[in-house]
Amino acid sequence: MPLDAQQKQKLLENAKALLTANDTGEFIKPSTSQYPHIWNWDTAFIVIALSHYDIPQAKKEVDALLAGQWKTGLLPHILYPNGASDYFPTPDFWHTENLENGPPYPTSGLTQPPVLATAVKAIFDKGGDKDYLASVYPKLLAWHRWLYSARDPEGTGLVSIIHPWEAGTDNSPRFDEAMQNLTQNLKPENVPAFQRKDKNHVNPDERPLQEDYIRFMYLIGFYRERNWDDAVLYNEAPLLVQDILLNSIFYKANQDLLILAEELGEDTQEIQDWLDKSKAAFQTLWDEDAGMFFDKDMKQDKLLKISSIQALSPLMTNLSSKAQVKRMVAHLENPESFGSGDAPYMLPTIAKDEDYFEARRYWRGPIWINMNWFFWKALKEHGYTELAEKVKDHSLELIHKSDFVEYYDCRDGSACGAAGFSWSAALAIDMLMDA
CB-CB contact of 51 with 122 (8 Å): yes
Active site residue 129: no
CA angle at residue 249 from 414 to 60, to 5 degrees?
A: 80
Q: How far apart are CA 261 and CA 133, in angstroms?
A: 9
H-only helix segments in 193-299: 210-225, 230-236, 244-264, 269-282
Contact 351, 357 (CB under 8 A): yes
Could you give the residue ranges of the DSSP H alpha helices within 74-163? 116-127, 130-151
Which of 358, 406, 409, 430 is flagged as catalytic?
406
Residue 381 annotated among the catalytic residues of the structure: no
- For residue 31, give the DSSP letter: B
Residue 321 neighbours by CB under 8 Å, 6+ apart: none
Phi, psi of 399, deg, nearest 5: -65, -40
Hey, what's the torsion of the CAs at 204, 19, 398, 246, to 10 degrees?
-70
Q: Give the chain's count of helices (H) and strands (E).
A: 15, 10
**Cα dihedral: 214, 151, 308, 349 (round 10):** 70
Question: Would you call 263 exposed, middle or buried from its count of C-beta atoms within 10 A (0-12, 13-18, 19+)?
Answer: middle
Nearest to 228 by CA among 39, 93, 38: 93
Give the SS3 label for residue 28.
Answer: strand
Catalytically annotated residue among 170, 243, 297, 358: 170
Kindly list the distances between the CA atom of residue 171 and the CA atoms of 71, 185, 188, 273, 395, in Å, as whole numbers in the listed order.
Answer: 30, 19, 21, 33, 22
Residue 369: which residues within 8 A CB-CB, separation 6 or more?
Answer: 395, 398, 399, 407, 408, 423, 424, 427, 428
Rounded distance, CA 421 to CA 353, Å? 28
Which residues are identified as catalytic? Answer: 170, 406
